[in-house]
Amino acid sequence: MKARWDIFCSVVDNYGDIGVTWRLARQLVVEHGCDVRLWVDDLRAFERLCPEIDVQSGQQWQEGVDVHHWPADWAATPSADVVIAAFACQLPPDYMEAMAARARPPLWMNLDYLSAEDWVVGCHRLPSVKFKGVQKYFFFPGFRPGTGGLLREAGLLQQRQAFQQDAAAQQQFLRSLGVLPATGTRLMSLFAYENAGLASWLDVLSTDGRATHLLVPEGRILGDVQRWLGVDGLEAGDVHQRQALTVQVLPFVRQEQYDRLLWCCEFNAVRGEDSFVRAQWAGRPLLWHIYRQDEDIHLDKLDAFLQLYTAALSPAARAALVALWQAWNTDGDMAQPWKRLLEHWPEVSAHAETWCLEQGLQADLATALVQFYESWI
């Protein structure tokens, strides 16, 4: 009898939390034959990723996943064999009692946030707290051996490489979004939180010797884009040109479409966790806007990733990439860092593909979770 899994997701950052858990739930079903219930407290946010969701329904099936609204008033529900609390969310007290009441306790894991910090390897799969005899374990995604790896569906990198080698497929996909870039234009995507440094970046793109077509999916950065353009409002479908820069607003798209958008672009600015990982699988240079935390502790996580990611770059290329990322994450001036990065474009571009393939050698996150459960039982 196959194991039953419960994944709990409390939506904090609009799309990052549900983005990760939705990908994970589907992969566990499709590739590992697991029986998965996904508990989500905000179906409105989920609807942006999965338009078929009925936000009024307490239970529904989506792509083989048993999706449940996580209500404030919890109804008695039997515990699954494997329980994942995504990103340290607090399980309903009555559900925890149901876990403790089982004849055989479930495997209870806290799926943590992604980090490249050294200590993650030492903490991965360690026991955490206990509740009435039910042991919780830390489970850390990561970039290093000894962590849980990254979410990566079977065959993803082969699909991506085939798509990037098929100019007609890329053109057809972009046309389906209403994107018609001019020949020779640098195609870039921008998905970010609010950022005071954006104006200086758009300034330098607009005066560059090479034209740029910037694709901006609906999101929090739109207000800053709107201010720079000097327009009253922005919505999906809008296209504005300022000298060498064309800015086009895209609708929020489902995850498979967003992957292809990243694959089409020469450079991707991403945010949070889910899009950050997907941009790495695109094998293209990227810029990460990390989620801001109190006392700037997020900058430690940023530096840890940069140290790992840039280790194989030449000193000059490393300095250019680090300067760009640090400016973006401290609302700094982007003009000079961007110009410096362009000087090292061939090296940075080749490195992005190499990094992607190296990360692809590790077990993916879903497989690592299943392997942990199999070793635990």
pLDDT digits (tens, 9 = 90+) for 278-306: 999 999 999 999 988 877 788 999 999 99
- Whether 143 and 150 have beta carbons less than 8 Å apart is answered as yes
Share of the chain above pLDDT 90, in %: 94
- CB under 8 Å to 374, separation ≥6 — which residues? none
Using the CB atoms, write b or e for 82-113: b if 16+ within 10 Å. Answer: bbbbbbebebbeebbebbeeeeebbbbbbbbb
pLDDT-derived band at 239, boundaries 50, 70, 90: very high
pLDDT recorded at residue 93? 97
pLDDT recorded at residue 14? 62
d(CA 150, CA 360) in angstroms, rounded, equals: 9
**Topology match between the domains 4-151+362-376 and 156-359:** yes
pLDDT recorded at residue 13? 65
- Whether 110 and 136 have beta carbons less than 8 Å apart is answered as yes
The sheet carrying 59-62 orders its strands as 59-62, 65-69, 35-40, 4-9, 82-86, 107-111, 134-139, 127-131
* Catalytic residue list: 17, 273
Give me the amino acid identity at 314.
S
pLDDT recorded at residue 16? 77
* pLDDT at 9 > cutoff 80: yes
- Whether 284 and 264 have beta carbons less than 8 Å apart is answered as no
d(CA 123, CA 243) in angstroms, rounded, equals: 51
pLDDT recorded at residue 112? 96
d(CA 316, CA 314) in angstroms, rounded, equals: 6
pLDDT recorded at residue 291? 85
pLDDT-derived band at 2, boundaries 50, 70, 90: confident
* pLDDT tens digits along 88-121: 899 999 999 999 999 999 999 999 999 999 999 9
Report the pLDDT averaged over residues 247-273: 96
Q: CA angle 224-342-151, nearest 5°?
A: 70
Report the pLDDT averaged over residues 5-21: 88
3 state SS for the chain: CCCEEEEEECCCCCCHHHHHHHHHHHHHHHHHCCEEEEEECCHHHHHHHCCCCCCCCCEEEECCEEEEECCCCCCCCCCCCEEEEECCCCCCHHHHHHHHHCCCCCEEEEECCCCCCCHHHHHCCCEEEEECCEEEEEECCCCCCCCCCCCCCCCHHHHHHHHHCCHHHHHHHHHHCCCCCCCCCEEEEECCCCCCCHHHHHHHHHCCCCCEEEEEECCCCHHHHHHHHCCCCCCCCCEEEECCEEEEEECCCCHHHHHHHHHHCCEEEEECCHHHHHHHHCCCCEEEECCCCHHHCHHHHHHHHHHHHCCCCCHHHHHHHHHHHHHHCCCCCCHHHHHHHHHCHHHHHHHHHHHHHHHCCCCCHHHHHHHHHHHHC
* pLDDT tens digits along 44-100: 999 989 999 999 999 999 999 999 999 999 999 999 999 999 998 999 999 999 999
Report the pLDDT averaged over residues 150-161: 98
| Adjacent-strand bridge partners of 8 | 39, 85
Q: Chain-wide mean pLDDT for the chain?
A: 96
* pLDDT at 1 > cutoff 70: no
Report the pLDDT averaged over residues 171-176: 98
Give me the amino acid identity at 323.
A
Report the pLDDT averaged over residues 262-269: 98
pLDDT recorded at residue 311? 98
d(CA 3, CA 45) in angstroms, rounded, equals: 28
Domain chopping of the chain, boundaries: 4-151+362-376, 156-359
- CB count within 10 Å of CB 28 equals 25
Report the pLDDT averaged over residues 207-236: 97
Write down the CATH number for the domain with range 4-151+362-376.
3.40.50
Share of the chain above pLDDT 70, in %: 99
d(CA 368, CA 377) in angstroms, rounded, equals: 14
Give me the amino acid identity at 245.
L
- Whether 84 and 22 have beta carbons less than 8 Å apart is answered as no
Report the pLDDT averaged over residues 173-189: 97
Report the pLDDT averaged over residues 252-272: 96
Task: Give the architecture (CATH level 2) of 156-359.
Answer: 3-Layer(aba) Sandwich (3.40)
* pLDDT at 166 > cutoff 80: yes
